[in-house]
Amino acid sequence: MSSQFASDTPPPGRSGRLVRAMPYVLIVAAVIADLATPKDISFAATLSVPPALGVPVTPLRQLRPLLIGLLCVIISLLLSLYADGIPQVVIIGTEFSVVTVTLMAWAVVRYTQRQQRMLTDVRTVAEVAQQVLLRALPTDLVSVRSAVRYAAAAAEARIGGDLYEVMTTPFGDRLIIGDVRGKGLPAVEAAADVLGIFREAAHQEGELGAIALRMHQALARRPQSDTEEFVTAVLVSIPPGSAQAELVNCGHPAPLRIHQGAVTALDPPETSPPLGLFDLAGDPPQVYKADFVPGDMMLLYTDGTTEARDKRGSFFRLDPASPIWAEYQEPDPLLDHVLRAVHEHAGPRLTDDLALLAVKRLPDP
């Protein structure tokens, strides 16, 4: 298991050492204050605080609050006996407070560790699900070189409703990027259904429109939920030896083609509904073509990119007129730049999942 998901990892660096030392510093401070003041003044009651600060930082220190609490019980009793004129009821109350806080701190620690272990298990399952659903893409195919980036909006999430795939088929290199309406497990299930159909149909269907229709039918067969479920998607096919790419756009942001530093949005001639809503339009989405020659790149993205907001509420913009496009000749550095620009605009936390897919047209083999 990756160390980044360890539930009991100690705080790093100087701050971690300070946190671990705080209970003992407080115990020493209470003893010094008690000895430095008249005997009719006692600081024994303050020793009910250190057990609450004795949070374990590794699984081997689960008993740390109990050990600190035992130390505080002994020291508070000695300080109470050292003081003059302290009523017995006050001494008993002090010891009771220390013991109660110690037991409560230990119970909270035990509960927290169980919850952290459960969260770690869930994260592990999510990682496995991500590897199955959004598996690693091949870098070089027959006609294109690809790269992908994915960022989940939720800090604890590893997977969401965005989907992508790239593969070589008898009809050429084919790719898809999509975004499921909604969040949570239903969105992941819908993404799995769409990708499963695409991975099969891309090898069987010669027309992109037929692939889109099969994915729509798969969504239509899903059990009806409280919210209407649909998927926006772009399908692309690059036939070998062709100077054009075939596209089907199902209600998704248009891909960008980068040709010698100039950027063009590959908008469809007619707007098509998302997958799952074809019945509203009556006709399946139309296939259209766009020039895509060796050296060109195509950037596909989900709306989490362009809907990323800064502190003022302004959306992130992929500016076609920016000279930055001419600086990147390969998919990987291009996506690194776009993802970095999104985070610089919106900060580290996103409001929606984000997927970026870039392909570069290679010379014909």
Query: What is the residue-averaged pLDDT of the chain?
Result: 82
Q: Domain ends where: 129, 149, 171?
A: 129
**In sequence order, what are the beta bridge partners of 251?**
none
List, in order, residues 6 or more apart from 84 with CB less than 8 Å away. Answer: 39, 40
Total length of the chain: 365
User: Could you tell me the residue range of the domain that residue 183 belongs to?
Assistant: 136-361
- Predicted pLDDT of residue 59: 47
Average pLDDT over residues 290-313: 91
Structural domain count of the chain = 2
State pTM to two decimals: 0.67
Is 198 found in the same domain as 49?
Answer: no
d(CA 4, CA 7): 8
Scan for tokens 């083609």, then name that residue: 257
Is 125 found in the same domain as 140?
Answer: no
pLDDT in tens, 7-32: 334 444 566 677 778 888 888 888 88
Q: Domain ends where: 94, 129, 164?
A: 129
pLDDT in tens, 59-79: 445 677 778 888 888 888 888
- Model confidence at 190: pLDDT above 50: yes
d(CA 17, CA 204): 60
Is 338 found in the same domain as 292?
Answer: yes
Is 321 found in the same domain as 226?
Answer: yes
Average pLDDT over residues 94-101: 85
- Predicted pLDDT of residue 293: 95
Q: Domain ends where: 129, 161, 190?
A: 129
DSSP 275: B
For residue 3, the SS3 value is: helix
Average pLDDT over residues 227-248: 89
Is 321 found in the same domain as 193?
Answer: yes
- Model confidence at 130: pLDDT above 80: no
Is 183 found in the same domain as 121?
Answer: no
